[in-house]
Amino acid sequence: MDTAEFKEALIGLMEAKQHWAWPLFTSGQVAADRLHVHFEQEYATYVRDFAILLGRAYIQCPIPAIRAELAENIYEEETGKLSLGKAHAELFLGYPAGLGMDVERFKDIRMLHEAARYRAYVDEATLECGWETAMVVATIFLEGNEYERAVLDADAPKRPEPDLSEHPLVKHYGLDPSSLALTRAHRMVEAGHRHVAWSMVDAIDSSVYPQVLSSMEEILSRWHTYRDAVARACGLVRPVAS
């Protein structure tokens, strides 16, 4: 497998990072009093610790140029000083706080069983599988989305960026757009992070490709099971396929 084939395999896996319940979340189908489940589980599985997960790739990586890129991402995640001046995990809490939720709950979250299984693999992949897997899992799987192809191919569909007044939380749940600071911070730095993530993939030795791909398959599978559980806990039922 050459680098181009490896990247294509990674993009294919990212294109499968889609879940049946997401269109229901973004069209206001989740009862407002169940939405906290989604925020709490996302926070506990990766949002709260994202800078630390990047740090695990950083401390294992022997290549200074890659460490420098990871360090810049960690700095932004932990301080926000390249965007809005606050840690991204802190900005994330602006969503539930703006929706009137009790953010004290986020200090001691009880993870759904499937969320804990997903988080366990996030930990394994970032601690025990080498810097390459830690880096790809953190910067591509966790930080990326199903539109990764657009990073490498100008003709591929880009992730839609509607005006913040059209954000689902504003439209369907009455969130004040001022509480969307994380969305704004991400729009400021995300394009750079996506390009850097894929340029770092070029530094991975082909002997490690099977390890990275098998970890990506495992995390994708656990993510689907985790998102199924969140959807259930939010009262959603999978629509019958037409």
Interface positions with Fe ion (CB under 5 A): 88
Closer Cβ to Fe ion, 38 or 88, answer by number: 88
Tell me the backbone φ, ψ of residue 8, rounded to 5 degrees.
-60, -40
Closer Cβ to Fe ion, 90 or 128, answer by number: 90
Closer Cβ to Fe ion, 1 or 191, answer by number: 191
Minimum CB distance to Fe ion, residue 194 (Å): 12
Minimum CB distance to Fe ion, residue 3 (Å): 27
Query: Measured in whole angstroms, how far is the alpha carbon of residue 13 from the centre of its chain?
Result: 14
Shortest Cβ contact with Fe ion: which residue? 88
Minimum CB distance to Fe ion, residue 76 (Å): 7
Cβ neighbours of residue 124 under 8 Å, at least 6 residues apart? Answer: none
| CB of 136 closer than 8 Å to CB of 148 | no
Minimum CB distance to Fe ion, residue 62 (Å): 25
Closer Cβ to Fe ion, 42 or 114, answer by number: 42
Q: Can you read off the two tokens belonging to residue 43?
A: 């926070």
Q: What burial letters (b/e) apply to 85-104, b meaning 16+ CB within 10 Å?
A: ebbbbebbbbbbebbebeee
